[in-house]
């Protein structure tokens, strides 16, 4: 298990809730720990993917009568982790030690979130998720990212790269300037003023100035509100750290420009995929791989104010994972 108390006691997305509607269980990895997620009635359960008997992965087994059945010797585990049946000894009450390690799990924004320790915070907010007039959808996941989460989040909080990494989609290198803005650390994390940027509109609207207002609510979760003529978008990026250099990115989007969630997911997923793959190539190339929290380690300008606030905040929080 990766040693970072801050992340151990935080919530991390591990699966899309809809996935459990058509598969009985999901095997996932979080902070170096193998987990299994299954559903007992309307309740989601997250457990260590390890049978106490002989150490087999219970995710290789099956779900029967809301219990998880180990593939090796058929031991059955209930939703609270207790072993309730040992087939080789049906007359025996399983010993108290025969149980799975159970972890806190919650559903929100269409995702299942797990904490490996004791949650110190509520799940991060997503202001547009339930606001009237917005339609929401989960887009992704984008897996096997060979980069640390803090590098991914900092990239997400950076509007100055749009004209060069996302030319023709989110920016134009002939109009690279940003409007003046400030960024600050608050009790909720990091926030920016609205940042004005020029964007082309390859999807049929009108090109022009739009504004992004950024928030980093947790070390590996960031959000922006994008205001443009006739519509407002909200988007959350949250990164699941599997191992040191293996991450998954989840995007949750909400917009006033559409009125159907399924259609929004179908339309926006390939758009986000195009943009994210452009980002992935750059972020995976960055050196050092660990995000430097010493502000003297890299060069910073006015356009980096959100990144400066983010790095300062992470240093204050004491984040170890993915930082130097």
Q: How far is it, in rounded angstroms, from Cα 26 to Cα 158? A: 34
Average of per-residue pLDDT across 150-159 = 98
CA angle, corner 21, sides to 149 and 255, nearest 5? 55
* Torsion angle of C-alpha atoms 70, 117, 127, 36, degrees rounded to 10: -10
Write down how long the chain is.
Answer: 324
Residues 36 and 162 in one domain: no
Q: What sign does the CA torsion over 7, 143, 62, 17 have?
A: positive
pLDDT one-digit tens code per residue, 187-209: 999 999 999 999 997 555 667 89
For the record, the structure tokens of 124 come out as 């991060």
Q: How far is it, in rounded angstroms, from Cα 215 to Cα 224? A: 6
Residues 141 and 219 in one domain: yes
pLDDT one-digit tens code per residue, 233-266: 999 999 999 999 999 999 999 999 898 999 999 9
Residues 147 and 278 in one domain: yes
Q: Is the pLDDT of residue 2 over 90?
A: no
This model's pTM is above 0.75: yes
State how many domains the chain has: 2
19-55 core/surface letters (b: 16 or more CB in 10 A; e: else) = ebeeeebbbbbbbebbbbbbbeeeebbbbbbbbbbee
Q: What pLDDT, on a 0 to 100 scale, did the predictor assign at position 204?
A: 53
* DSSP element (H, E) containing 50: none
Domain of residue 21, residue span: 5-114
281: number of Cβ within 10 Å:
10
Question: Does 123 reside within a domain?
Answer: no
Residues 60 and 154 in one domain: no
Q: Is the pLDDT of residue 21 over 60?
A: yes
Which CATH number do you get for residue 254? 3.90.380.10
Chain centroid to Cα 108, Å, comes to: 12
Average of per-residue pLDDT across 151-157 = 98
The partner residues of 46 in beta bridges, in order of sequence, read 37, 103
Which CATH number do you get for residue 40? 2.102.10.10
Q: How far is it, in rounded angstroms, from Cα 178 to Cα 158? A: 11
Q: Is the pLDDT of residue 175 over 70?
A: yes
Average of per-residue pLDDT across 151-175 = 96
Residue 37 CB contacts under 8 Å (≥ 6 apart), including other chains: 14, 15, 20, 25, 26, 27, 28, 44, 45, 46, 105, 112, 114
Share of the chain above pLDDT 90, in %: 91
In which residue are the tokens 């009790």 written? 187
Question: Does 126 reside within a domain?
Answer: no
Q: How far is it, in rounded angstroms, from Cα 46 to Cα 97? A: 18
Which of these, 46, 57, 50, 65, lies nearest to 98 by C-alpha position? 50
């Amino acid at each position: 298990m990766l040693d970072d108390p801050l992340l151990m006691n935080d919530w991390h997305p591990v699966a899309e809730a809809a996935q459990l509607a058509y598969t009985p269980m999901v095997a996932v990895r979080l902070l170096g720990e193998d987990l299994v997620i299954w559903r007992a009635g309307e309740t989601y359960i997250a457990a260590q993917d390890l049978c106490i008997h002989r150490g087999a992965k219970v995710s290789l087994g099956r779900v029967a009568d809301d219990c998880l059945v180990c593939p090796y010797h058929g031991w059955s585990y209930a939703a609270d982790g207790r072993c309730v049946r040992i087939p080789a000894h049906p007359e025996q009450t399983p010993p108290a030690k025969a149980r799975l390690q159970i972890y806190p799990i919650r559903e929100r924004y269409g995702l299942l979130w797990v904490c490996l320790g004791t949650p110190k915070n509520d799940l991060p907010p997503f202001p547009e998720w339930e606001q009237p007039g917005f339609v929401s959808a989960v887009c992704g996941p984008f897996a096997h990212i060979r980069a640390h989460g803090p590098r991914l989040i900092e990239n997400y909080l950076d509007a100055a790269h749009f004209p060069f990494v996302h030319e023709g989609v989110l920016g134009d290198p002939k109009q690279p300037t940003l409007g003046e803005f400030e960024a600050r650390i608050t009790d909720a994390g990091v926030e920016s003023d609205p940042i004005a940027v020029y964007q082309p509109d390859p999807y049929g609207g009108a090109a022009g100035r739009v504004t992004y207002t950024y928030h980093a609510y947790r070390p590996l979760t960031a959000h922006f509100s994008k205001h443009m003529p006739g519509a407002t978008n909200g988007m959350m990026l949250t990164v699941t750290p599997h191992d040191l250099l293996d991450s998954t990115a989840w995007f949750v989007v909400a917009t006033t420009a559409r009125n159907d969630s399924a259609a929004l997911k179908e339309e926006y997923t390939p758009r986000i995929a195009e943009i994210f793959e452009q980002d992935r190539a750059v972020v995976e190339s960055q050196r050092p791989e660990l995000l430097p929290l010493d502000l003297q380690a890299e060069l910073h300008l006015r356009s980096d104010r959100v990144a400066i606030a983010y790095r300062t905040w992470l240093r204050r929080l004491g984040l170890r994972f993915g930082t130097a």
